[in-house]
Amino acid sequence: MGILIKQGRVIDPVNNIDDILDILVRDSKIARVAKGIRIDVDRVIDAAGKIVMPGIVDMHVHLREPGREDKETVASGTQAALKGGVTSVLAMPNTEPVIDCVKNVRLLKQIIKKDARANVFICAAITKGRQGQEITEIARLKREGVIAISDDGSSVEREELLLRALKEAKRCGVLVICHSEDRALSGKGVVNLGIVSTRMGLRGISKESEYRRVERDIQLAQKASARIHIAHVSCAESVKIVKKARDKGVQVTAETAPHYFSLTEDEVVGYDTNFKVNPPLRNRADLEAIREGLREDIIEVIASDHAPHTENEKDIEFEHAAFGITGLETELAVSITELINTKILSWMELVRKLTTNPSRILELDKGTLSVGKDADIIVVDPTRPWRVSKEGFLSKSKNSAFLGRELYGVVEHVICAGKIVFQGQ
């Protein structure tokens, strides 16, 4: 009965464990964590030399369903998630229709119930249709199981409206996630404003368009005494602003995506639209600031911002191509390659940013290996190299910014709710 994961290096930030231990899984829960467990089980996983950690909780994922099943579905997206070691995702609401009312939440829940292979949590919109004009019925959405709200893809322009949403979200116990971008400043930009936009003759997106909006959004949260989470932080100034606010005691958390701590605007020079993303890849100094922000724990969360797009929408003129990079299947390996192997983060710190922190921010009972908790566990070979290729992806879309790159770290086993749901080669 059950699964025994033997001899792995168990990393569990919640219990401050980093040790060679065995884990016994029984009836969807973690039953024991100890040295040298001897017991009869159905399945033994030899994890010697491997990392054993909670399944990744990715709080920024575009599953595209309903509406854009040509890009991704709940089924394909969660399958891709498992391959990347992600056992829980927060699904962003910018689908067609937008997840902005009880009816649409129920529709999505039905799809999830039928097709999801990992845990899918729902983020609804802040405003109806993500139009920035009318707040959604947050209390009713909460009762349907919505745990966060975001107009991701756009910022809520009207301050008084966001302020009211923050207050109501606080009352209901729902997290507000902000896509902080001042469109009046970013305009029709497609790459970071600077030498690269100049060389390529493309319209630039200034950092001001991001950090000034980050600053505004944080001020509104402070005014509302509400929590706020800043999505996809990409530049040095935003990190500074988040740090300052936290030092003042504002309840602000921030996330970044793997491409912001591993790639710069220089990648865009060949007009490869797989590097077109919003916010855009910034310069070397920003990349270093993001890494420093991660190291200092100003940025507490790594999330993929998995944004699948079809080749039809990507393989065209740069300025017409869609913004976005897929990430579910590469986020762990990019993190290992760029943060662990470079000694910017310890394993404990990385696992915290991938699992424990997002779980805490979303008030989920995930991201831990405590006895009695849901058995969402992954076993990772941290040193094995692999080359990213289109053929290897389980996501329906192939718009990865890491194609052709060699990364380290392969997810070998994924246990979700006590069942082995994915096994790597």
Tell the smallest beta-carbon distance from residue 205 to other proteins (Å).
11
Per-residue contact track with other proteins, 253 to 292, x per CB under 8 A?
-----------------xx---------------------
> Which of 226, 322 has the CB closer to other proteins?
322
Among 10, 31, 202, 289, the residue binding other proteins under the rule CB under 8 A is 202
Among 197, 395, 399, 400, the residue binding other proteins under the rule CB under 8 A is 197
Residue 39 sits in the site that holds other proteins (CB under 8 A)? no
> Would you call 42 a catalytic residue per the annotation?
no
**Which two tokens mark 323?**
């913004």
**Contact assessment for residue 82 and residue 416, using Cβ atoms and an 8 Å cutoff:** yes
Tell the smallest beta-carbon distance from residue 195 to other proteins (Å).
4
Cα–Cα distance measured from residue 321 to residue 268, given in angstroms and rounded to the nearest whole number: 13
Phi, psi dihedrals of residue 289, rounded to the nearest 5°: -65, -35
Tell the smallest beta-carbon distance from residue 324 to other proteins (Å).
17
Cβ contacts of residue 311 below 8 Å, gap of 6+? 398, 399
Selected range binding other proteins among 129-137, 172-180, 199-207, 252-260, rule: CB under 8 A: 199-207
Among 103, 320, 390, 419, the residue binding other proteins under the rule CB under 8 A is 320
Closest CA relative to residue 243, chosen from 286, 294, 285, 303: 294
Closest CA relative to residue 127, chosen from 138, 114, 111: 138
Task: Give the burial class of 33: count Cβ atoms within 10 A of its Cβ; 0-12 exposed, 13-18 middle, 19 or more buried.
Answer: buried
**Contact assessment for residue 415 and residue 378, using Cβ atoms and an 8 Å cutoff:** yes
CA angle (228 as vertex; 361, 177 as ends), nearest 5: 80
Residue 317 sits in the site that holds other proteins (CB under 8 A)? yes
Cα–Cα distance measured from residue 255 to residue 229, given in angstroms and rounded to the nearest whole number: 8
**Contact assessment for residue 22 and residue 37, using Cβ atoms and an 8 Å cutoff:** yes
Residue 323 sits in the site that holds other proteins (CB under 8 A)? no
Among 200, 344, 348, 394, the residue binding other proteins under the rule CB under 8 A is 200
Site for other proteins (CB under 8 A): how many residues? 20
Tell the smallest beta-carbon distance from residue 309 to other proteins (Å).
14
Among 1, 39, 285, 316, the residue binding other proteins under the rule CB under 8 A is 316
> Which of 36, 201 has the CB closer to other proteins?
201
User: What is the torsion angle, in degrees rounded to the nearest 10, for the CA atoms of residue 253, residue 259, residue 261 and residue 263?
Assistant: -150
Length of the chain: 425
Selected range binding other proteins among 94-102, 115-123, 311-319, 367-375, rule: CB under 8 A: 311-319
Phi, psi dihedrals of residue 155, rounded to the nearest 5°: -100, 150
> Which of 66, 204 has the CB closer to other proteins?
204
Sign of CA dihedral 92, 130, 97, 259: negative
> Which of 67, 187 has the CB closer to other proteins?
187
> Which of 298, 321 has the CB closer to other proteins?
321
> Which of 34, 316 has the CB closer to other proteins?
316
Which residue in the list 305, 374, 376, 381 is annotated as catalytic? 305
Tell the smallest beta-carbon distance from residue 284 to other proteins (Å).
13
Residues 177-196 that bind other proteins (CB under 8 A): 187, 193-195
Among 315, 363, 365, 406, the residue binding other proteins under the rule CB under 8 A is 315
**Contact assessment for residue 88 and residue 361, using Cβ atoms and an 8 Å cutoff:** no
Burial 165-179 (b: 16+ CB within 10 A, else e): bbbbbbebebbbbbb
Among 198, 342, 383, 389, the residue binding other proteins under the rule CB under 8 A is 198
Residue 363's CB is within 10 A of a number of other CB atoms, namely 12
**Bridge partners, residue 127, by sequence:** 135
Residue 82 sits in the site that holds other proteins (CB under 8 A)? no
Interface residues with other proteins (CB under 8 A)? 187, 193-195, 197-202, 204, 270-271, 312, 315-320
Supply the residues annotated as catalytic: 305
